[in-house]
Amino acid sequence: MTFRNDSISFEQKKDEISQRRSQLSVVKQTLLKKRLCGNFESNAQLQLIPRRSQREPAPLSFAQQRMWFLYQLEPNSAAYNQAASIHITGSLDLAVLEQSLNEIVHRHETLRTTFAITQGESVQIIAPTLTITLPIIDLRKLPEVEREQEVQRRTTQEVQQLFDLEQGPLLRSIVLHLTETEYLLQVTMHHIITDGWTWGVLVHELVALYEAFSIGKPSTLPELPIQYADFAVWQRQWLAAEVLETQVAYWKQQLHNLPTLQLPTDRPRPIVQAFRGARQTLMLPKALSEELKVLSQQSGITLFMLLLATFKTLLHWYTDQDDIVVGTDVANRNRPEVEGLIGFFVNQLVLRTNLSGNPTFRELLGRVRDCTLSAYTHQDLPFEKLLNALKLERTRGRMPLFQVKLVLQNAPLPPLEITGLSVKLSESDIEAGRAKFDLLMNLMDTTEGLKVQLEYDTDLFDAVSMKQMLGYFEKLLCTVVKQPQTQLHVLEEMLTEVSKQQQILNEKQLKEARLQKFKNIKRQVI
């Protein structure tokens, strides 16, 4: 009996370890596998990023360099403004909130940075001090409907207001006072100093500082180990010679004869991309979202890989191309020194998968897994360096390498509590009227289920086409989660049938609308 109990305990422990491992990010799973096999990183790579010794203007990081190039190309574009809404409920001390924001500006050099060209080189200019004011917009007297409209108007206005990267500041914030105990802190930054990860850093620091300052205590936050400019200097020194050659060699082989995705559009592609966009949103049922997570765990893949495989199946049906290329983002914060920094670290990866041979969906999951893991292993090459290495001919009509992108935000920031306050970082649902890609499918893992936002170029696509695309995506997900052994052609035949039924329904509704219009006209004549 003792042996049997020990055996059960061992199996339970093994299941627990497997479950914990499945919850790790793909990057951490890869690192763990290397270490279990004895493949440790070199000592050089484990060395900490040093602080720069000189206080002179620092070079731009590679990510900043491309953003600076795009800014000079289109200085009157708000396409790279990043915004977030922080919903605060309770008895808020606005003076303490402003003090907390200014302490964050003091802690992070990035928020005091502007950009210039000195002696032919692009550099970061870091101001020694910067004090921001926090305008308060009182909306308490407005009726609820008018108040919501004013929130939408002011938020859109903030998102669309241009930044001057040479003059700064590159951070704006306002407070909308909604009710006696409700506030909306709107923060907008230019992408050259921020990324998606940054918002979590900002909110955590804001909560900690407000908690301390509200009771008259000094900051409890530890000193930052480095600043963003230190990272920029280190990145340019580290990513050279052998490291650079290895990364470039991989991507050159991976992207050889890269195809262009030929999505059918509602209108011809303009010669110059205007970045005009809109968004369609779909909320997947919670039950379906949970089933997708179960299937990904059972298949030994991440939820992102499952969603990517489904999206690529959909694109294969739309284009009839076997070689499907989709872009994605990686946080690019795999060093401990940069995890708590505000700054632009995110990198873009090109994920290329061959869908030929009529594979089952489960077989396709394996292809997507291999492609994604390989890309993550070579994620250190900045997208800007990759473009330069490939020596692509640039056009102003489309983004380079890929025009369709899929991103999963699967680490939502939970509501945070301060004494007497509740703080929540809100997902932005504001229509900014812009799009950097033909299509950007942005998925968020929320407590209610997976939320899908499809941002699209309105010069190419109509709203009705994008709504239909979201419907096809949901139909595919519902099918593959129940029947992952289904072959690709069968899935696409199902989509074709759904499309035909939708067309019949649309024609019927159009006829009914025309008939009703005729009856109304006839009634007026009589």
140, 179 contact by CB (below 8 A): yes
Residue 164 scores a pLDDT above 90? yes
Half-sphere exposure of 80 toward its Cβ, with a 13 Å CA cutoff?
A: 25
The distance of Cα 213 from the centroid of its chain, to the nearest Å, equals 32
The number of CA neighbours under 13 Å toward the Cβ of 526 is: 6
* Tally of CB atoms within 10 A around 525: 6
pLDDT band of 2, cuts 50, 70, 90: very low
- Tokens for 435, please give them: 């799009």
In angstroms, the CA 62 to CA 344 distance is 10
Q: Are 486 and 478 contacting, i.e. CB atoms less than 8 angstroms apart?
A: no
Across all residues in the chain, what is the average pLDDT?
88
The pLDDT confidence band at residue 274, using thresholds 50, 70 and 90, is: confident
pLDDT of residue 4: 33
The 10s digit of each residue's pLDDT in 171-204 is 999 999 999 999 999 999 999 999 989 999 999 9
SS3 content of the chain, % helix, strand, coil (to 5): 45, 20, 35
Please tell me the predicted confidence (pLDDT) of residue 210. 96
Q: For residue 425, what are the contacts with CB-CB under 8 A and spacing of at least 6?
A: 84, 85, 86, 87, 199, 200, 203, 413
DSSP 401-412: S-SEEEEEE--P
At residue 227, does pLDDT exceed 70?
yes
The single residue listed with the structure tokens 């900490």 is: 48
Between CA 347 and CA 399 the distance in angstroms is 15
Of 50-59, 297-306, 328-337, the one with minimum mean pLDDT is: 50-59
Residue 504: band (very low, low, confident or very high) from pLDDT cuts 50, 70, 90:
confident
Start-to-end CA distance of the chain, whole Å, equals 94
pLDDT digits (tens, 9 = 90+) for 403-430: 999 999 876 566 677 888 999 887 555 5
Percent of the chain whose pLDDT exceeds 70: 88
Residues 301-328 pLDDT 10s: 999 999 999 999 999 999 999 999 999 9
Q: For residues 237 and 50, give the distance between their C-alpha atoms in angstroms, rounded to a whole number.
A: 11
* Position 516 confidence tier, pLDDT thresholds 50, 70, 90: confident
CA distance 123 to 178: 41
Mean pLDDT of the region 459-476: 97
Average pLDDT over residues 423-443: 80
Average pLDDT (460-469) is 96
pLDDT in the model for residue 427: 56
Q: Say yes or no to pLDDT of 33 above 50.
A: no
For the residues 149-159, what does the mean pLDDT come to? 92
- Please give the residue that has the higher pLDDT: either 4 or 182: 182
Check residue 46 and give its pLDDT: 54
User: Kind of pairing, strands 136-138 and 171-179?
Assistant: parallel
User: By the 8 A CB rule, do 480 and 474 touch?
Assistant: no
Average pLDDT of span 283-289: 97
Phi, psi of 523 (to 5 degrees): -65, -40
In this prediction, residue 372 has a pLDDT band, given cuts at 50, 70 and 90, of: very high
For position 325, what pLDDT does the model report? 98
Instruction: Count Cα neighbours of 36 within 13 Å in the Cβ-side half-sphere.
Output: 7
- Angle at CA of residue 510, ends 505 and 516, nearest 5°: 125
